[in-house]
Chain A
Amino acid sequence: DIQMTQSPPSVSASVGDTVTITCRASQGISTWLAWYQQKPGTAPKLLIYSASLLQTGVPSRFSGGGSGRDFTLTISSLQPEDFAVYYCQQTNSLPTFGQGTRLEIK
């Protein structure tokens, strides 16, 4: 199985800040990577697919990058509704998720 390691496990930031979350795969996965946002008590929501493509309806302050083993999710100009848990997921082989990054209000 491909292991996905996210960092940091949690991050505190203020409204208006820019935050970057990283995800590393245990082996190369090209751009077979998605990012999800999950708020308490709700299902995850797809933000980014194929490493850098923005899902329809997702604000442009979300961006993704990377290929191979190393990937990033950047959220620019944080809004109050962005405070949530973020997961990466590799879809190169049988899917696996990272352990999640909790984005908290400072």
Chain B
Amino acid sequence: QVQLQESGPGLVKPSQTLSLTCTVSGGSMSSSGYFWAWIRQPAGKGLEWIGRIYRSGYTNYISSLESRAVISADTSKNQFSLTLKSVTAADTAVYYCGREVEADGRSLDSWGQGIVVTVSS
């Protein structure tokens, strides 16, 4: 059973860069048929998909964050990362990493527990 775990700072100052890492265990990121995604959820609100990366390094991003977000992967460490630059209070949220399964309609079958990120001076 694959497991995912987010890590990174819980507090980021406005205008700075948010950097999070997701460590994958119980499975290889190099396996075909999976995408590795980031999703976020402001407190008390709904879910927002941020973007994904495939083992080839191919990425997609939601249009509203495309200019600020970068997702990268280090398959040798079985990790992928999210960098979000020029953050504001609106980026305060719980950030989840997840695995999308291509064969299952690209649904997110595995999620990390989430990490709370607050943007504040």
B106 touches A91 (CB 8 A): yes
Closest residue of chain B to A34 (Cβ to Cβ) is B107
Size of A's binding interface in residues, CB under 8 A: 26
B108 touches A46 (CB 8 A): yes
Closest approach, in angstroms, between the C-beta of A86 and any C-beta of chain B? 11
Given A1-B63, A94-B62, A94-B63, the answer on whether A87 and B47 have CB atoms closer than 8 Å is yes
Size of B's binding interface in residues, CB under 8 A: 23
- Binary B-proximity of A71-97 (CB < 8 A = 1, otherwise 0): 000000000000000010101001111
Q: Is B15 an interface residue (CB 8 A)?
A: no
Q: Using Cβ atoms and an 8 Å threshold, which residues of chain B touch A87?
A: 46-47
* A residues neighboring B (CB under 8 Å): 1, 31-34, 36, 42-46, 49-51, 53, 55, 87, 89, 91, 94-100
Q: Is the interface of B mostly helix, strand, loop or mixed?
A: strand
Q: Is the interface of A mostly helix, strand, loop or mixed?
A: loop
Residue of A50, A55, A94, A97 touching B47 (CB-CB under 8 A): A97
Q: Is B16 an interface residue (CB 8 A)?
A: no
* B residues neighboring A (CB under 8 Å): 37, 46-49, 60-63, 96, 98, 100-101, 104-109, 111-114
Q: Using Cβ atoms and an 8 Å threshold, which residues of chain B touch A43?
A: 96, 98, 111-114
Closest residue of chain A to B105 (Cβ to Cβ) is A50
Given A43-B96, A44-B47, A87-B47, the answer on whether A94 and B60 have CB atoms closer than 8 Å is yes
Residue of B37, B49, B113 touching A96 (CB-CB under 8 A): B49
Given A44-B111, A46-B109, the answer on whether A95 and B49 have CB atoms closer than 8 Å is yes
Residue of B61, B104, B113 touching A49 (CB-CB under 8 A): B104
